[in-house]
Homo-oligomer: A and B are copies of this chain.
Amino acid sequence: LHRRQFAIIAGIMQTLFIVLFAKYVKYIDPLDDSRRVYSGTDYPLFQDVHLMIFVGFGFLMAFLKRYGFSAVSVNLLLSAFVIQFAMLLRGFLTVAFSETGLFSIGIPEMISAESSCAAVLITMGVLLGRLTPVQFLLLAFFETLLNVVVEHFVFNYLHVSVLSSKFPKIYREFQVNDSGRSLSVHTFGAYFGLAAAMVGHKKNVMEMDEHGGIHHSDLFSMIGTLLLWVFFPSFNAAIQEPEDARHRAIMNTYLAMASSTVTTFMVSSCVDTLGRFNMIHIQSSTLAGGVAIGKSSRVPTYSSNTYSGSAANAVLYPYHAVIVGVVAAILSVIGHAWISPRLEKSLHLFDTCGVHNLHGMPGILAGMLSIGFAYFYEPESYGKTLYHIYPYWIGGELNGDRENVSQAQYQAIGLLVILITAIIGGLLTGCILKIKIWNQVDDPDFPHGEMNYYAQSDVNFLSKYKHA
C-alpha cells in the first residue's frame, strides 16, 4: 500500500477536481464580455508566463546532476496539479460564486493560476531532493490553499470591504482577474519553503552531488535562467492594466534585469579572491532585479477586485528601476556568498537552490521599496495614474483618505501579513510532511552505490531498468 500512496492521493485529488469542475465551473461567454476573449493582448502574455513556469522553472532547478530529471518532472506534475486547484479555489472566493453558485473561467484565470504555480515551484526549489513526490504533492496542496486564502484576505478584507456595495457592476465584471500578486508569489513561496525546511529534512543535497568541472547540467540550468530572464517583463506585466501601467511594468523590469545582470558579474568577480565568476551567481542573481522590481511595479486596479495598494507601487523613473536592479543583485550575490553558508552552519537551514537569495531577500527588498515609494513620491508626479496605483488616495472617486504616510503603512501591513502567514504555514506543513505515514526520502548518507536515489523510496524515474 505504501507503494500506491502517490497513486491513491493523486487519484483522489483528480477525481475531486472533476466533480468540482462539473458542479461549479463554466466558461465565460466571450461574446458577452469582450475583455475576456482571446485578444491579441492577454493570450501572448499568458503564453510567455506559461513558458516561464513550465520550462523555465523546471530547467532552472536542473543544475543538480542527480536531480535534473526529477526537477523537471516534478515541476510539471506540481504545476499541472496547482493550475486546476488554484482555479477552483479562486473561483470559490469570487462574488459570482457566492451569488450564483457558479463561476466562470477564462484567460485571466489561467494567468492567475500560473502565478500560484510559481509560489509552489519556488518552495520546491528550497526542498528539491529532500521530498518524495507524494510529499511534494501534499506540500503543493497546503501551500496553494493557504496562498490563495491569504492573498484574498490581503487584497479584499484588509480594507476594501465597502467595495461590493459601492461598485457592484465593476466588481462583478472583473471579479477574478487580479494583479498585485507578486508579493504573494516570491516572498510567500520563499519563506514558506524555508520554514518547512527548518522543521525537518536537514540534509545538504548539494554535497552529495558529484563534484567536477562545468557540467552539461549547468547548461540545462542556463536554459531555465535565460527563459526566466527573457520572460520576466511579461511575468510582471501580465496582469497589469491600464496600458500605461503595463507599459511601465515592462520597461521597469527590462531595465532592472539588465542592470542586475551586469552587477551580478561585477560583484561575483569581487567576492572571489581570484576575480572569477561563480556560475551559481550567474544562474540565479541575474534574475534578482526582476524579482525586486516585480512587486514595486505592480499596480492592483479595478480588475483585481481590490483597491488595496498593499503590494503595489509604481516605479516612475527609469533610473530608479536601474538602481533597484543593482541593489537586488548585490543583495543576492552576498546572500549566496555569505548568508547562505552561515544559515546552513548556524540554523542547519539547507536551501537547495538558494531560493532565499533569489526570491526571499529580493522579495523583501521589493516590499520595502513599495513602502518607500509610497512614502517619498510626490502624489503629483504620478500624473493621471495616481488613482490607478492607489485607488484610496485622498480625493479619488472611492472617497479614500490615504496620503503618503498612511499608504506606506498599508504597504507595510501587507508585507508583514504575507511574511507571517508564510512562515507559520511553512512550519505547519513541514510538520505534516514529517509524519511517518508518508513516503520519506531515505538517509542519503547511506552508501547507495549505483542505485537511484528515488529507487530507495519507492519512486524512480527509471522503471525501464528496475532494480530488484
A positions within 8 Å CB-CB of B: 2-7, 10-11, 13-14, 17-18, 21-22, 25-31, 36-41, 43-44, 47-48, 50-51, 54-55, 58-59, 62, 68-69, 72-73, 76-77, 80-81, 83-84, 105-107, 110, 133, 211-214, 216-220, 222-223, 226-227, 229-231, 234, 237, 243-244, 246-248, 250-251, 254-255, 257-259, 261-263, 265-270, 272-280, 282, 286, 316-319, 322-323, 326, 383-384, 450, 452, 454-455, 458-466
- Report how far A18 CA is from B255 CA in the complex, Å: 11
Q: What are 5 A-B contacts defined by CB distance under 8 Å? A: A3-B274, A4-B275, A14-B262, A26-B318, A40-B44
Q: A272 — nearest CB in chain B belongs to which residue?
A: B463
Residues of B within 8 A of A40 (CB): 39-41, 44
Q: Which of B30, B58, B216, B452 contacts A244 (CB 8 A)?
A: B30
Residues of B near A7 (CB, < 8 A) are: 266-267, 269-270, 275
Alpha-carbon separation in the docked complex, A230 to B461 (Å): 22
Compute how far the CA of A265 lies from the CA of B134 in the bound complex, rounded to whole angstroms. Answer: 11
Q: A231 to chain B: which residues have CB within 8 Å? A: 47
Nearest to A229 among chain B residues (CB) is B54
User: Are A219 and B69 touching (Cβ within 8 A)?
Assistant: yes
Taken together as a complex, chains A and B put the C-alpha atoms of A41 and B212 apart, in Å, by 46
Q: Which residue of B lies closest to A268 (CB)?
A: B463
CB closest chain-B residue, reference A2: B275
Q: Which of B217, B237, B275 contacts A459 (CB 8 A)?
A: B275
Which B residue's beta carbon lies closest to that of A72? B222
Q: How far is the CA of A238 from the CA of B261 in the complex (A)?
A: 25
Taking a contact as CB atoms under 8 Å apart, the answer to whether B5 and A275 are in contact is: yes
Chain A contact residues: helix, strand, loop or mixed: helix
Check if B37 sits within 8 Å of A247, measured CB to CB: yes
Q: Is the CB of A459 within 8 A of B276?
A: yes
The answer on a CB contact under 8 Å between A282 and B229 is no
CA distance A323 to B51 in the complex (A): 24
Q: Which residue of B lies closest to A452 (CB)?
A: B213
Query: A82's closest neighbor in chain B, by CB?
Result: B258
Complex CA distance for A11 and B266, rounded to whole angstroms:
7
Question: A22 — nearest CB in chain B belongs to which residue?
Answer: B319
- Tell whether, in the assembled complex, residue A10 and residue B265 are in contact, meaning their CB atoms are under 8 Å apart: yes
Contact A278–B44 (Cβ < 8 Å)? no
Given A21-B255, A80-B262, 8 more pairs with CB closer than 8 A: A37-B247, A68-B219, A72-B222, A76-B261, A219-B220, A276-B458, A277-B459, A278-B464
- Which residue from B18, B323, B454, B464 sits with its C-beta under 8 Å from A322? B18
Alpha-carbon distance between A198 and B237 when the two chains are bound, in angstroms: 45
What's the Cα separation between A280 and B466 when bound, in Å?
14
- Distance, CA A237 to CA B282, complexed state (A): 32
Chain B minimum-CB-distance residue to A458: B275
A44-B40, A68-B219 known; A31 and B244 CB under 8 Å?
yes
CA distance A58 to B465 in the complex (A): 25
State the CA gap A212–B69 with chains docked (Å): 14
Question: Do A211 and B27 have beta carbons less than 8 Å apart?
Answer: no
Nearest chain B CB to A90 CB, angstrom units: 14
CB distance from A5 to the nearest CB of B (A): 7
In the complex the two chains form, what is the Cα distance from A246 to B273 in whole Å? 51
Cα separation A318 to B110 with both chains bound (whole Å) = 13
- Residue in B50, B72, B223, B318 whose beta carbon sits within 8 Å of that of A230 in the complex: B50
- Which of B18, B230, B254, B259 contacts A326 (CB under 8 A)? B18
Min CB gap A205→B, angstroms: 14
Q: Are B234 and A461 within 8 A (Cβ)?
A: no
In the assembled complex, which residues on chain B have CB atoms less than 8 Å from the CB atom of A59? 219, 223
Contacts of A237 in B (CB 8 A): 38
**Closest chain B residue to A69 by CB distance?**
B214
